[in-house]
Structure 1
């Protein structure tokens, strides 16, 4: 016999991902290809490559 899942059941991975903040890289770069991100007084550079990949460097 197979137990039925409740209608509001979510896969664990889905519920975890829904709680993580999401940010659009294009919005962070304001339509360009670079943005600076500050963490604990350290500055990181976020860059969108021509191939559409993200690179984060210190």
Structure 2
């Protein structure tokens, strides 16, 4: 993913970046899923990939952990 600067919301206090904040651009063909939609029923979801199952967990600190 590329990062570009967008002049709208003040960003971090770094020299030369006044008035700018980093913005992630997402290709139009990329599907975006909101993590809030994934964890509506709890803090863990199972993902099946081919014949394998993976567990995606949401930690107390809001981090994501993917395990096989």
Same fold (TM over 0.5): yes
Give the helix-richer structure, 1 or 2: 1
Q: For each residue in 1:1-55, what CA deviation from the matched residue of structure 2 results, as whole angstroms up to 9, or x when unmatched?
A: xxxxxxxxxxxx7252x32111122222224100000000100000000000000
* Count of aligned pairs: 45
- The TM-score normalised by the length of structure 2 is 0.55
- Runs (4+) of structure 1 exceeding 3 A deviation are none
RMSD: 1.8
Give the strand-richer structure, 1 or 2: 2
